[in-house]
Structure 1
Amino acid sequence: MGRWGITLPLTGVPLAAHRTLVAELAGLGYTDVWTAETAGTDAFTPLALAAEWSPELRLGTAIVPVYTRGPGLLAMSAATIADLAPGRFVLGIGASSPVIVERWNGGTFADPFARTRDTLRFLRRALAGDKVDERYETFTVRGFRLEHAPEQPPPIMLAALRPGMLRLAAQEADGAITNWLAATDVPTVRAALGQDTELAARIFVCPTEDADAARALGRMLISSYLTVPAYAAFHDWLGRGDALRPMHEAWAAGDRKAANKAVPDAVVDELVVHGSVAQCREHIARYVENGLDTPIIALLPTGADQFDLARALAPRA
């Protein structure tokens, strides 16, 4: 079996309460724990805890925005986790979105490709212990050196949705992380990335046989996420432009309810894994069969115990 990851913390569960589950994950067949960073926990603190709770799991950020921390602070945070979990940490970075960068963090979302590329290049040098004195296209760093560079600099993966960023990930990073991907989309993304670069994807999983409830939740999430310009362009590239056009038109008109209703069931069923636990596990496996290296389960709330569902979705369940 290859990699099998999960996103932590689970929805609605306090971070400190995850200790028992994290200690079990490797024995259940999980290989990876990944974090996200939107408006809940930050990406690094859960991994610091997981590094102590489990000595086996690979730990990754998916993703840390390149705009919301200065380059030096981002290097410091990454070096800290790399020091706690030598050889087990993967730093995933990406542009994030205008909402997170500008509306929530007071930054400026400009030149996302260049900012991500420049941050990657800076981090390569900083995490190797180099003194960085460089004028990049999107920022300048003068005389920065980590006081304690990690003995094993972590691999760096890029959030990548379309060919330009996927090529950058293949050429300069150690992998690509994508999101809101159907199993049938994997070959398209893999072709743009190449065969020799790790491809990870966060997969939204709603283990319930109540299809109406799963689709209602899926429509709400899809209309919220896929109206973000980067995701809209991603799904245009993947061929869903016509299917999602009514949703975009309703959203642009300010009618959120109509936008939700306009998401076709077929699109929800492609992008949100739902059904029985066994059906969900089989659906996730199809991503791997189609060329995904690292599925990262993101459990959606169903009303059932989140820890029980995480255990049930494990490869060795």
Structure 2
Amino acid sequence: MRLGYHTGYWSAGPPRGALEAVLEAERLGFDSVWTAEAYGSDALTPLAWWGARTSTIRLGTAIAQLSARTPTAAAMAALTLDHLSGGRFTLGLGASGPQVVEGWYGQPYTRPLARTREYVAIVREVLAREAPVTFDGAFYPLPLREGGTGLGKPLRSTVHPLRADLPIHLAAEGPKNVALAAEIADGWLPLFYSPRMDATYRELLADGFARRAPSHPGRGPRPVEEFEVSATVPVVVHDDAERAADAVRPFIALYAGGMGAKGANFHRDVLARLGYGDACDEIQSLYLAGRREEAAAAVPLELVQDIALVGPPDAIRSGLAAWRQTAVTTLLVQADPASLALLAETLDGGPAPAS
């Protein structure tokens, strides 16, 4: 199981020490570094800016939102970053949720799975560059069929992609979406993965793999054997497990309570499937009432320990053993940048590389 570093969302401005953390992750031998976007900073610009200072670490978006750009624009960004990084880019995509898609991007959130399927298909057509891109879809018709001048024509990318099979990963939480990732993508980006749910996730992935179209040489999806599962996992090393959990509780409260409307919060549903439905109801009620500190305090220690690695180094090493038995191929660490060396030592069980 490889290690990756997740820079997370920006708050009011750029995260402090992000560049130093990215460089440290590469020095420590981390496999990849990932950026995020919500409704503030975008995921591509910081990745290009920080990634320009690196030479070996893989660069990924976790996630670039579908509604933030058209499929062809996403493909353009992907092939551009792949060229500039020497073939180190992974395009991580996700549908986000109705509050952001309809409230921020002004687009409908209807049929997100069908929309995702069309989106990925078009990105792959652009990267394949075998012919001018046309697509007879319900969401992304190319050329435009209605409402335009009628002068649109099929086009082929002027730039030749460095890799026609540039990897595409999908963020997914619901069962059908997880299976879709296994069917059409090269990897899955789960949030709130828990080793306790590993058997269920393996079944969902197997369902998707069974529907996977045969691979074509030089273009995705890649063989099932190369499929990646890169799970975002908060990691906090502290002698007191409760104190360590306190660093993660606001993150969980935000997702369970504030990242989605009541009755339409996919993050909350994942935690409910873990058995924390009642706790999530309380967290959401407090969060939506503006009582955020109380919402965070209502997150049980057991929930934190299910989806994160927190506590003394020995406890984290012990907990990591369960993660190594899962379908997860890369642990995307969310952590204090200053503690990356300690985390690498703790997670790998040996000393960090010397400067």
| TM-score normalized with structure 1 length | 0.84
User: Which amino acid in the other structure matches residue 142 of structure 2?
Assistant: V
Could you tell me whether the CA contact under 8 Å between 1:162 and 1:237 is conserved in 2?
Answer: no
Aligned counterparts of 1:285 and 1:27: Cα–Cα separation in 2:
24
- Paired residue for 1:147? 158
- Paired residue for 2:211? none
Aligned counterparts of 2:317 and 2:332: Cα–Cα separation in 1:
12
Deviation at 1:158, TM superposition (A): 0.8
Match 2:300 to one of 255, 264, 267: 264
The secondary structure found in structure 2 opposite 1:270 is helix
- Paired residue for 1:162? 174
Does the C-alpha gap of structure 1 residues 104 and 278 become closer, same or farther in structure 2, counting only changes over 3 Å?
A: farther
- Paired residue for 1:4? 3
Deviation at 1:220, TM superposition (A): 2.5
Deviation at 1:80, TM superposition (A): 1.0
- Paired residue for 1:135? 136
Deviation at 1:241, TM superposition (A): 2.6
Alignment of 1:36-115 (within 5 A): 36-39=36-39, 41-115=41-115
* Deviation per residue, 1:64-89 (Å, 9 max, x gap): 11011122221111111111124322
- Paired residue for 2:330? 294
User: Which amino acid in the other structure matches residue 306 of structure 2?
Assistant: E
Deviation at 1:156, TM superposition (A): 0.6
User: Which amino acid in the other structure matches residue 108 of structure 1?
Assistant: P
User: Which amino acid in the other structure matches residue 190 of structure 1?
Assistant: R
The secondary structure found in structure 2 opposite 1:120 is helix
Larger CA deviation: 117-126 vs 230-239: 230-239
Match 2:282 to one of 246, 249, 254: 246
Larger CA deviation: 189-198 vs 247-256: 247-256
Could you tell me whether the CA contact under 8 Å between 2:231 and 2:331 is conserved in 1?
Answer: yes
* Deviation per residue, 1:40-91 (Å, 9 max, x gap): 5421123323443222111111111101112222111111111112432211
The secondary structure found in structure 2 opposite 1:167 is helix
User: Which amino acid in the other structure matches residue 169 of structure 1?
Assistant: A
The structure whose residues are more often strand, as a share, is 1
Does the C-alpha gap of structure 1 residues 259 and 16 become closer, same or farther in structure 2, counting only changes over 3 Å?
A: closer
Deviation at 1:244, TM superposition (A): 3.0
Aligned counterparts of 1:284 and 1:40: Cα–Cα separation in 2:
33
Could you tell me whether the CA contact under 8 Å between 1:15 and 1:46 is conserved in 2?
Answer: no
- Paired residue for 1:193? 205
Does the C-alpha gap of structure 1 residues 52 and 246 become closer, same or farther in structure 2, counting only changes over 3 Å?
A: closer
State percent identity of aligned pairs: 32
Deviation at 1:258, TM superposition (A): 5.0
- Paired residue for 1:174? 186
Structure 1 unaligned residues grouped into runs of 5+:
none
Aligned counterparts of 2:142 and 2:175: Cα–Cα separation in 1:
29
Could you tell me whether the CA contact under 8 Å between 1:200 and 1:294 is conserved in 2?
Answer: yes
Aligned counterparts of 1:11 and 1:278: Cα–Cα separation in 2:
31
Could you tell me whether the CA contact under 8 Å between 1:51 and 1:59 is conserved in 2?
Answer: yes
Could you tell me whether the CA contact under 8 Å between 2:79 and 2:162 is conserved in 1?
Answer: no
Does the C-alpha gap of structure 1 residues 281 and 110 become closer, same or farther in structure 2, counting only changes over 3 Å?
A: farther
- Paired residue for 2:148? none
If you compute each CA radius of gyration, which structure gives the higher value, 1 or 2?
A: 2
Aligned counterparts of 1:257 and 1:43: Cα–Cα separation in 2:
28
Aligned counterparts of 2:156 and 2:175: Cα–Cα separation in 1:
33
Larger CA deviation: 67-76 vs 214-223: 214-223
Structure 2 unaligned residues grouped into runs of 5+:
144-153, 207-223
- Paired residue for 1:29? 29
The secondary structure found in structure 2 opposite 1:53 is coil
Aligned counterparts of 1:20 and 1:254: Cα–Cα separation in 2:
34
Could you tell me whether the CA contact under 8 Å between 2:24 and 2:340 is conserved in 1?
Answer: no
Does the C-alpha gap of structure 1 residues 247 and 58 become closer, same or farther in structure 2, counting only changes over 3 Å?
A: same
User: Which amino acid in the other structure matches residue 160 of structure 2?
Assistant: A
* Deviation per residue, 1:226-267 (Å, 9 max, x gap): 243111222333443344343345556676555444332211
